[in-house]
Structure 1
């Protein structure tokens, strides 16, 4: 790609207050070190990778680190920092606001503030909030508020509530697992069918959801909930959007494109937690993939995201 055109919906920001708080608590991102970040380094990477705009989000472990009051304050500080970055470079950056789940009242209040006052482009939720998954009935007020606003919701994986595999950082395997777990929880608990106005983006090609979707739908309708047909479950699973971060590979991309609805695949880099070399590898595959339908590659790079983020449309 010879000019910056892509809209990257999976690009991370590292606000200094967030990095300092994690360091003080001895935390990282599931065994993955917190990298250096600056607006200038992000723009330099985007220029090299053909990215016009990066929609920024804080990654795991998010902003709720065990204390409700700390989580409220950290979410506000992180979101205000992100809003300033966007204000300084509105064409190059967007941002998903961090939400302090599982504190539901604070999560709703911060979502409203971020969307209405800070003009965030959506919100980011971790795949589980202190071990509670996103289909939890107690989270219903947040989903209702996000649906009323037809919000974009970016689901990023977090470490599942279980021990890490020895010698295996969570981003390597557990993150993929937890995205799938959270998405299925949203569908089985009816969130995706009750709230049709919000748009939910799953990280990393949806984990292994596209690969296993027909298993999920078939077993659900025959064993778990006979009142819901296979078609009902599939319809809800197909409501998700998917980013290509670390997933535009010879095996994953064909499965994703075979499952996702038209317009539901978006470009993602996962920078700076995924190194730029990884981005170059996946970009090359996207640029040389032989089986795209006419216009599909450009839609993934930009047009599909323009539908979700109209302010970024040219």
Structure 2
């Protein structure tokens, strides 16, 4: 069945060099930055019937040296331009989410203006936090306002949890790779912050794409809703049913991150199959593992939904979101 991959990554040669120069050659506790080429990616796509892939930069994003705004702007511009070049070379196979140099607000505003309308640009990839500032933080309101004006899709990718006061502090349980546990927790932090700060409700034209089938959101929705009654004014309080309705109307969730056989059931308690998108997480998930996980996903979806819904999850929902 034909697929559109909404969660997969590109490793531009320039970005790789910047990462190596600034100490990100073993990102998030992983052993290395994986190899990538458009040819190898397309070969895997052909094997798995992936019609099109939407490429993005993963953690740590493009702000690689804490506090160096000019460097972040340069890396972001060069990286987005290199990705755009690849997409122009293979327009039928690749589109992309542009990166922003968060937490630099002015630089991000400039990059939005530069990238909106560029051929192949489907939206913007934002890390769940930038130097400890989470999506939904008031300092990012000008960015959200501008993205809202463009009715943008925001692809939220998890990053390493860190402190505003000490962005270089060790992550929790540093002996384990960040993607193993912390990526899921950081996604949950960012989504909850977007909801409880009212960011989602204020900027009605934004669409949020959440990684990894909602991460650890399913078991905490009721708890977050109950706490909103304590923390927020009456007009801002959210019931769990309201949160679920927001997820079913303003959010999409990709199937990267091994959601089968268990997590998918939690997601379907809070979200809709009509908001699910296929994701491979290639090349940070190696090709042979992507193939195995694809088989597991196919088997799991056959048990849960009919063929029409499965087709929508694999490609139709993405076509409705991005066009084409």
TM-score range, shorter chain: over 0.9
Moved more, 280-289 or 268-277: 280-289
- RMSD after superposition: 1.6
> In the alignment, what sits opposite 2:9?
12
> In the alignment, what sits opposite 1:167?
175
Moved more, 291-300 or 193-202: 291-300
> In the alignment, what sits opposite 1:277?
288
2: distance between equivalents of 1:217 and 1:237? 13
Instruction: Describe how 1:210-225 pairs up with structure 2 within 5 A.
Output: 210-221=218-229, 223-225=230-232
Which 5+ residue runs of structure 2 have no aligned equivalent?
Answer: 163-168
Which residue among 233, 238, 251 is the counterpart of 1:240?
251
2: distance between equivalents of 1:119 and 1:52? 15
> In the alignment, what sits opposite 1:48?
47
Cα deviation digits, residues 242-263 of structure 1 (max 9, x gap): 1000233111112223321352
> In the alignment, what sits opposite 1:60?
59
Cα deviation digits, residues 66-93 of structure 1 (max 9, x gap): 2110111111111111111111111110
Cα deviation digits, residues 214-268 of structure 1 (max 9, x gap): 22223322x2225114144443344321100023311111222332135211000
2: distance between equivalents of 1:119 and 1:141? 24
Structure 1 residues 253 and 233: alpha-carbon distance in aligned structure 2, compared to 1, 3 A threshold: closer
Structure 1 length-normalised TM: 0.93
Instruction: Describe how 1:1-314 pairs up with structure 2 within 5 A.
Output: 1=1, 5-27=2-24, 28-32=26-30, 33-65=32-64, 66=66, 67-161=68-162, 163-164=170-171, 165-221=173-229, 223-225=230-232, 227=234, 228-230=237-239, 231-238=241-248, 239-289=250-300, 290-310=303-323, 313=324
> In the alignment, what sits opposite 2:165?
none
Which 5+ residue runs of structure 1 have no aligned equivalent?
Answer: none
Moved more, 12-21 or 161-170: 161-170
Runs of 4+ that moved beyond 3 A: 231-238
